[in-house]
Amino acid sequence: MSDDHIHYMRLALERARGAAREGNRPVASIIVRDGAIIGEGQNTMFTDFDPSAHAEVAAIRQACNRLKTVDLPGSTLYSTLEPCPMCFWAMQEAKIGRLVLGARHASVKRTDLGRYTVESFLEFTGRKLEVINGVLAEECEAMRLEWLEAQAAKKP
């Protein structure tokens, strides 16, 4: 595992913790190209009252706006949690070339997506993407599972 992957995933973890402190899901993403961060995002669904306010989409929007383009080839997107189908499709539309993952949906016991994985979506659509798994996975998983436990404790 490269030091760069660890560095950028640590930054994403910091952002994800911030999302949780603000009352959102603890998910964050960072987009890097040529060694520079071009986009960052965190989940803001609950504070923005927007079901599309996911970390990956926010990072893609920021990167595209900064660069005044809708295409981000040569970019790497770091995400603390495997992107959902909506976010993954946004990545494909932006032509992001690499995805670096922390936690997987299966590892945090998320069952509402059925058998979905980024690899199954790639197979289904016939698209290509380099996927690097397991970067700081234990930290990413623990953060998500702790958040889920806290949410469950709040319910009557």
Among the listed residues 14, 22, 56, 119, the single catalytic one is 56
> Contact at 8 Å (CB) between 30 and 40?
yes
- Identify the H or E element spanning 18: helix 3-21
DSSP alpha helix (H) spans, 22-135: 45-48, 55-67, 85-93, 118-125
DSSP percent split of the chain into helix, strand, coil, nearest 5: 45, 20, 35
Q: How far apart are CA 112 and CA 141, in angstroms?
A: 17
Look up 119 and say whether it is catalytic.
no
- Identify the H or E element spanning 84: none
DSSP state of 26: S
Residues with catalytic roles: 56
